[in-house]
């Protein structure tokens, strides 16, 4: 029996474009982000999904709405698929963080697994909830075709887990905006089919 899981990173937002920390902070898709979502829709149009699981934020909801437009597929929101909560760094650039919270920035990156921004999450905490969400999918929808619309960190952490890498090696996986990663899970283990495929945007007249 195969459970097929398609992990999609949402389309571009203004905060992405400005290279600002964006975890729990909500931000709409840009016009380009909408085009990315529409490209994903074309790429995935022939797949009969059992269910769509979505991070509960505007950028993920807008992406899944484009991907599943005119399709009758149940959408379930799951906070465990949210991006890392960056606490008081939310909405700031890295340069702004270094200027405002220099000691906190050094401390966070010196401890890759347990460091955190004040009020935010550590990588260890994000990893724990994402793996719980992953295992929940496998137990709840065995043999299904599952669409998950989420963020970079959750996808990177899943890839680390199934390939035996430490969570702190998450940065080794490039996961672009508007990309998809496909994993088939069999009784003997997972097979990675696609990583970071970015569908071609439509041609505008």
Dump pLDDT digits (tens) for 25-81: 999 999 999 999 999 999 999 999 999 999 999 999 999 999 999 899 999 999 999
For residue 15, what pLDDT is reported?
Answer: 97
Could you read off the pLDDT of 79-103 as tens digits, one per residue? 999 999 999 999 999 999 999 999 9
Element (H, E) at 131: helix 123-140
Model confidence band, residue 5 (pLDDT cutoffs 50, 70, 90): very high
Model confidence band, residue 205 (pLDDT cutoffs 50, 70, 90): very low
Residue 37 to residue 102: CA distance in whole angstroms: 37
Question: What do you get for the CA distance between the two ends of the chain, in Å?
Answer: 44
User: Could you tell me the CA-to-CA distances from 161 to 13, 18, 54, 113, 156 in Å, in that order?
Assistant: 28, 30, 20, 14, 9
Model confidence band, residue 202 (pLDDT cutoffs 50, 70, 90): confident
What average pLDDT score do residues 158-181 get? Answer: 98
Which residues are identified as catalytic? 10, 83
- Contacts for 46 with CB less than 8 Å, ≥ 6 apart: none
DSSP state for residue 171 in the 8-state scheme: G
Model confidence band, residue 203 (pLDDT cutoffs 50, 70, 90): low
pTM, rounded to two decimals: 0.96
Question: Does the pLDDT at position 204 exceed 60?
Answer: no
**Which structural domains are found in the chain, ordered by start?**
3-197 (3.40.50.1240)
The per-residue pLDDT of the chain, averaged, comes to 96
């Amino acid at each position: 029996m195969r459970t097929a899981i398609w992990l999609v990173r949402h389309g571009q937002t203004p905060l992405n474009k400005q290279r600002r920390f964006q975890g729990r902070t909500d931000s709409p898709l840009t016009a380009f982000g909408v085009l990315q979502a529409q490209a994903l829709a074309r790429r995935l149009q022939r797949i009969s999904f059992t269910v769509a699981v979505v991070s509960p934020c505007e950028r993920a909801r807008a992406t899944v709405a484009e991907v599943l437009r005119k399709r009758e597929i149940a959408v379930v929101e799951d906070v465990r698929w949210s991006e890392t909560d960056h606490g008081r760094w939310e909405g700031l650039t890295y340069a702004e963080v270094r200027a405002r919270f220099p000691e906190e920035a050094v401390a966070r990156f010196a401890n890759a697994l347990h460091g955190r921004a004040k009020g935010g999450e550590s990588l260890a905490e994000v990893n724990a909830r994402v793996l719980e969400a992953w295992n929940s999918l496998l137990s709840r929808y065995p043999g299904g075709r599952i669409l998950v619309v989420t963020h970079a960190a959750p996808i990177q952490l899943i890839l680390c887990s199934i390939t035996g890498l430490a969570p702190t090696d998450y940065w080794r996986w490039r996961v672009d905006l508007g990309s998809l990663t496909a994993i088939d899970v069999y009784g003997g283990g997972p097979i990675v089919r696609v990583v970071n495929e970015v569908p071609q945007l439509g041609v505008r007249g």
